[in-house]
Structure 1
Amino acid sequence: MNIYRWDLKRNMKSVLIWTIVLVAIQFMYVSIYPSFASETELLTRWMKIMPKAFVKLFNLEDIDFSNILNYLAMVSSIYITLVGSVFAVIVGARSVSREEIEKTVEFLLTRPVNRISVVLSKFSESISELIIFDVVVSLSSLMVLNIFKQSDFDTGKFWIFWLSQIILHIAIMSISFLVGSTLKRPENAFSLSLGIMFVLYILNVISKLTEKAEFLKYFTPFSYSDASAVIKSGLEQSFLYFYALLIPASLLLSLIVYSKKDILV
């Protein structure tokens, strides 16, 4: 029994729906860029009188809005980072827990596969869902940016930004996957995972608002994949270290927990 292909086939409808939704949201946001860019001087003056906390929150210091990438950095924290992370939570939380919720786990575990193979197959399938989702959305993003741009932009920075988002989504999925593998009540996996995701997102917001809370940024993946920072300065070494630890650790813990878990059938 090929668990990977079976799961990918039954989850593709969800991937397609979420992809279409995000592409539509993306088009809506970027389509207003030309009118936004035409008021660059007004926006610059507006930024100077805005509360410093707001400007710092979105890394808007000295940003040139005539460059569409900077506009992308500002709005992507909502429609790419946050909405994409919600989808990642759904993918991760349902991956293992779905079998218990739908009462198909007994059938699955009677197949000639062990639990480690089940976890590895489902984790790989979850990554595939996110890659399909992010690749399609990123390509549509590139197309939309080229349609509405007022001047040329750095495609290298564009792809670095998207790399940071793909890895962020995989990390959020990994955490949700671990939650789904651990809970004895699998129906709670999504709500708990979503709560964890929002806490991590809020920690990143708080870390930007005051220097006293800046240390919080080291404990949330959202700070390592912050759109404005990545487009402005690229990826830091800490980005690689953080994700190289978080994602494998989540998978390893999922393997350990699920292999010993008492599953109700």
Structure 2
Amino acid sequence: MTLTKHELRQGWKILAIWTACIAFLVVICIVLFPEMKSEMDGVTDMFASMGSFTQAFGMDRLSFGTLIGFYAVECGNILGLGGAFFAAFTAIAALAKEEKDRTAEFLLAHPVSRVQIISEKLAAVMVQIVVMNAVIFGLSLACIAQVGEEIQWKELCLLHLAYFLLQIELAGICFGISAFLRRGGLGLGLGIAAIAYFLNIIANISEQAEFLKYITPFGYAEGADIVTNGCLDMTILLLGMLYAGIGIAAAYWKYSKKDIC
């Protein structure tokens, strides 16, 4: 696991910055909720009459007067989009950076197989995602308890599980793409995450575009669906894990036979 440890040492600052930024925004939302709680019923009514905008974010099915409803929309967007960007950012560079930084020859000169390189780099990406989600989840629970709100364990755990799996899916896809790149692809990775987010918004607005939920990982991480139904959509979730698996398999296939220069 030498390479995994090396990758983690290289990436810990970026991990700390992303985790701190996302956690800070989530904590601020939770801390502000008690002050805004008395005004939330009016906000809920206002959002309920905003047509397509309301449907885009599922606000027509949630009450802003409850912490879980407020959390699913406000914190959900922060966790979903922020986590997606981090996962894509980390995974898209995992394999490509060796050629970009001219360190591929040095790495491959060591007695390690390409399969081992791929496995250890993938492990480093996944460990970073796990650490970020564990820290944010823990801070969220602590803040909810601190402001005196009841913790709705089932809904909260399902929300965070969905965001975590969303990040795993995007990481798997971007990790696969990374094997095909030679000079890095930060813009491509962030673009994939952003497109996935907006595809879900389009699917929420238009019934004709609902099929897009089967393409984007945000389809099973929709806060309104999770809170309302009390479960994840397993069909979309399994498809998402399939996409992640295909991405990872593509990384092994391409990188194992890639002409690295």
**What's the TM-score once normalised by structure 1's chain length?**
0.92
What's the counterpart of residue 243 of structure 2? 246
What's the counterpart of residue 100 of structure 2? 101
What's the counterpart of residue 172 of structure 2? 174
Task: Render the CA deviation track for 1:146-177: whole Å, top value 9, x for unaligned.
Answer: 2235x423112111111111111111111111
Name segments (4+ residues, structure 1) moved above 3 Å: none
What's the counterpart of residue 53 of structure 1? 52
Report the Cα distance in structure 2 between the residues aligned to 1:32 and 1:130, rounded to whole angstroms: 27
Residue pairs, 1:56-135, within 5 angstroms: 56-135=55-134
Going from structure 1 to structure 2, the CA distance change for 1:121 and 1:228 (only over 3 Å counts) comes to same
> Alignment length, in residue pairs?
260
Q: Secondary structure at the match of 1:235?
A: coil
The offset of 1:62, in angstroms, is 4.1
Task: Render the CA deviation track for 1:47-79: whole Å, top value 9, x for unaligned.
Answer: 3432x2112112122422232111011113431
The offset of 1:250, in angstroms, is 1.0
Residue pairs, 1:20-39, within 5 angstroms: 20-39=20-39
Q: Output the amino acid matched with 1:218.
A: Y
CA contact (8 A) 2:173 2:247 kept: yes
Residue pairs, 1:158-169, within 5 angstroms: 158-169=156-167
Q: Output the amino acid matched with 1:176.
A: C
User: Percent of pairs identical after alignment?
Assistant: 26
Unaligned runs of at least 5 residues, structure 1: none
Q: Secondary structure at the match of 1:63?
A: coil
The offset of 1:252, in angstroms, is 0.5
CA contact (8 A) 2:200 2:213 kept: yes
What's the counterpart of residue 15 of structure 1? 15
Report the Cα distance in structure 2 between the residues aligned to 1:130 and 1:62, rounded to whole angstroms: 30
CA contact (8 A) 1:180 1:186 kept: no
Going from structure 1 to structure 2, the CA distance change for 1:30 and 1:231 (only over 3 Å counts) comes to same
Q: Output the amino acid matched with 1:200.
A: A
Residue pairs, 1:226-265, within 5 angstroms: 226-233=222-229, 234-264=231-261
CA RMSD of aligned residues (A): 1.6
The offset of 1:212, in angstroms, is 1.3
